[in-house]
Structure 1
Amino acid sequence: MFPPQPQRILSMADFKKWLMKYDADLDGRISMEELQEAIRASGAWFCAAKAKRMMKSADKHSDGFIDENGISMLVAFALKQIGLKVFPK
């Protein structure tokens, strides 16, 4: 799915498209479980506490889900934790 290592680069649109592939219930939002599946699929690992902090920062409505607007909050995490660089366009 990702370009070869060491540097993986995607546009924001492609990053959103990739993440939404893990929207198992097709509700247009990413739950904690769906986010964990996406991260696992990328080959990365993270602790539960870090996942909760990440979810809290991206969950704009505090409802346990990341919607399309919150996905942009995951960009910094993607770079730091899974080596994925996301550019704006």
Structure 2
Amino acid sequence: MSTSDWTADRTTGGPLDEVFRRLREQVPDLVIEVAAPDHDHFLLRIATSPEVVELECRPGGRPPFTVSDEYSQIPAADIATATRAVHELLSA
């Protein structure tokens, strides 16, 4: 799967932008990549870690979101739940 960096100046135009904004505040070394060519599948990790958390959304960065890692999958219907799920899996 080909990916590219999803920098802070890029937006989806939907609620996912707020998830990313909150996560960037909470996790200073957060790296976000988007799976090309879709903009509904993102890979998140801490810069110093190889462990990846996947976040999927509907087109336009809309919920419902699905947050997953190698061992678990968490459905998230809103911004707060998605943010919390990503943060928990990154911290595991």
One fold, TM greater than 0.5?
no
For Structure 1 versus Structure 2, the TM-score category normalised by the shorter chain is 0.3 to 0.5
Give the TM-score normalised by structure 1: 0.34
Structure in which a larger fraction of residues adopt strand:
2
Structure in which a larger fraction of residues adopt helix:
1
